[in-house]
Amino acid sequence: MTLDDLVRRALALAPEGARVVLGIAGSPGSGKTTLARAITERVNGLAGDGVAVHVPMDGFHLANASLDALGRRDRKGAIDTFDAWGYLGLLQRLLAERDHAVFAPAFERSVDEPVAGSIAVGPETRLVVTEGNYLLVDAEPWSGIPSLLAESWFVATPAAEREARLVDRHTR
């Protein structure tokens, strides 16, 4: 499928008057974030600003101070270093609360920390594009996520390409 095909599919999931969540899963370095950003940008270009919003799972990394207190800082990015219940709760809110803005956290790589209230999802938003490594994990609380997704897409990328991207990401 081309990017245009994916954008058409994403738009078709979110008709006027509705709000849906599209989930994009994959391994680290697979291109999830790049795809989510591209879809969000293209949908907004076609349908209007704010119709699509990218809400990444990465905003739910535990803060470094919390990871230090838990002795998990050296494992940052592992499944137990995320606020999974908070992420699940936000997705539920995004589907239920459509008459006002709901704010979501983002992950700021420059400070290696999540930043609360960075992403506004307004009443005009019909398509929430979320992405992360653990969207399809079959263990609580992650197992509550798939039922909230209109669709889930998996980005499969060859291991060598993923590894090269991760090396580049962590050496910039």
**pLDDT tens figures, 68-100:** 999 999 999 999 999 999 999 999 999 999 999
Q: pLDDT digit string (tens) for 24-55?
A: 999 887 889 999 999 999 999 999 999 999 99
Domain ranges of the chain: 3-171
Given a cut of 70, whether residue 163 has pLDDT beyond it is no
Task: Name which of 26, 29, 58 is nearest 155 in CA terms.
Answer: 26
pLDDT score, position 1: 86
Query: b vs e for 14-47, b when ≥16 Cβ sit within 10 Å of the residue's Cβ?
Result: beeeebbbbbbbbeebbbbbebbebbbebbbeeb
pTM higher than 0.85 for the full model? Answer: yes
Superfamily covering domain 3-171 = P-loop containing nucleotide triphosphate hydrolases (3.40.50.300)
